Amino acid sequence: MIKGLTTVARVASDEAWGQLGELFSALGFENGKGWSDDKGKGAAYLAPLGNLELVTGQMPSVPELLVEVTQLDTVHDAVAAWVRKYPANNLGDVVATHWNSRLFTLSIEGGLVLGFWESENPLHGKPVAIEGDLSAKGKKFAIVVARWNAVITDRLLQGSLDALYRSGCAKDDVAIVRVPGAWEIPSAARTLAESKKYAGIITLGVLLRGETAHYEAIYNEVSRGIGQSQQETGVPHAFGVLTCETLEQALDRAGLKAGNKGFEAAIAAIEMASIQEKLAGTE
C-alpha cells in the first residue's frame, strides 16, 4: 500500500530555490507537481527510485539527502559548471567511501547539503539474472568455416580463434571444419552438434549479393538450417555468416572498419555455452 517517499528540504532564499531548480533540471530530474501560497512555495523533483534508510548507532558521515547517479564524473562536471555560475555554493571533490562507492557533496548557500554518489559495484541495482561468463577454459568448441571467399572467411576464422584463445580455450580444444561454401555449413554444424563433444559451434561464411543470383534463397536456408540445428540438438550455435552487398562491406565487417564478426560470434558462443551449463545446474 506504500506509494512513494518524499524528502522535504528547506532552501534559504527564493534565489537559491530558483538556482537549484535550474541545476536539477539540467541533471535530468523529472518535474513533479509544485505548490505556492502566501507562506512559501515548493517544487517537486522526481527520481526513478526512492529509499528510506534507518540507522541505529552512529550516523554515517554523509549528507541526509543523497542522490544516486550514473556517470558520477559527468555529473560532477555539470555541477561544477553550475557552481561557476553561482559561486556562493560550494562543490566538494569526488572521493571514495568505505561502502564501495564514490561520492561528492554540494553545499548550498544557507546550509543545505546534497550528496551525489555512484556505486562501484557493477551489479548494483540490477535484477538478479543468470548470465554467461566469458571463460572458455576447459570447454571444446567447433568452428565451421566456408572456403568460398576465403579472403573474408580466413579473417573471420582468425577473429574467432583470437576470441577463444584469449578466453582461455586450449588450442587442442578447438576443431576447425572447412566446407566448400555457406550452403554446406548447416550440415557440418549439425553433425558436430549431434556428437555432443562441443560446448558450442561457431559458423563462419559470407554471402555477397553481387556474386550470387539466388542470394536470398541461400541465406534463408543457411540461417534456417543453423537455427534448426541449434534448437534440435540443444548445442549453442553462433551465427557468423556475413550477408553483404559488396566485397568492401564484407572486408569492413571482417576486421577492417566495423569489428570482426568472427570474434563476435566466438564470444557469443562462449557466453551461451556458459549459460547452458548454468541452466543445466538449476534443474
67: domain CATH number is 3.10.180.10
Q: Does residue 157 form part of some domain?
A: yes
Nearest by Cα to 179 from 208, 207, 140, 205: 205
Q: Do 147 and 257 share a domain, yes or no? A: yes
Q: Are residues 90 and 203 in the same domain?
A: no
The DSSP element (H or E) to which 21 belongs, if any, is helix 14-27
> What is the predicted pLDDT for the residue at 217?
85
Q: Identify whether residues 219 and 112 lie together within a single domain.
A: no
pLDDT of residue 266: 96
Higher pLDDT: 106 or 125? It is: 106
Summary mean pLDDT of the chain:
89
Q: Closest Cα partner for 202 from 156, 247, 134? A: 156
d(CA 199, CA 137): 11
Residue 47's alpha-carbon distances to 6, 32, 33, in angstroms, are 10, 10, 13
**What is the mean pLDDT of the segment spanning 101-112?**
92
Task: Identify whether residues 193 and 77 lie together within a single domain.
Answer: no
Considering only the C-alpha atoms of the chain, give the largest distance between any 2 of them, rounded to a whole number of Å: 84
**Same domain as 146, residue 276:** yes
Provide the pLDDT for residue 1. 74
- pLDDT at position 141 is 98
Question: Which residues are catalytic, by number?
Answer: 214
Query: What is the per-residue pLDDT across 219-270, written as a single tens digit (0 to 9) for each?
Result: 899 999 999 999 999 999 999 999 887 888 888 878 766 678 999 999 999 9
- The verdict on 233 and 276 lying in the same domain is yes
- What's the average model confidence in pLDDT over 108-133? 83
With vertex at residue 264, the alpha carbon angle to CA 181 and CA 70, rounded to the nearest 5 degrees, is 160
Give CA separation, 242 vs 46, 79, 101, 147, 209, in Å.
Answer: 46, 46, 43, 13, 11
- Express each pLDDT in 10-31 by its tens digit: 888 889 899 999 999 889 888 8
Residue 83 pLDDT grade (very low, low, confident, very high; cuts 50, 70, 90) = very high
CATH number reported for the structural domain that contains residue 177 in this entry = 3.40.50.960
Q: Give pLDDT, residue 254.
A: 84
Confidence band, pLDDT 50/70/90 cuts, at residue 59: confident
Shared domain check, 162 and 107: no
Beta bridge partners of 91: 106
Task: Inform me whether the pLDDT recorded for 215 exceeds 80.
Answer: no
Q: How confident is the model at residue 258, as a pLDDT?
A: 65
pLDDT of residue 231: 95
- Torsions phi, psi for 203 (to 5 deg): -110, 130
Which structural domain range is residue 28 located in? 14-53+61-119
Higher pLDDT, 208 or 186: 186
Q: What are phi and psi of 206, to 5 degrees?
A: -150, 135
DSSP helix/strand/coil, 148: coil
Sorting pLDDT into bands at 50, 70 and 90, what band is 211?
low
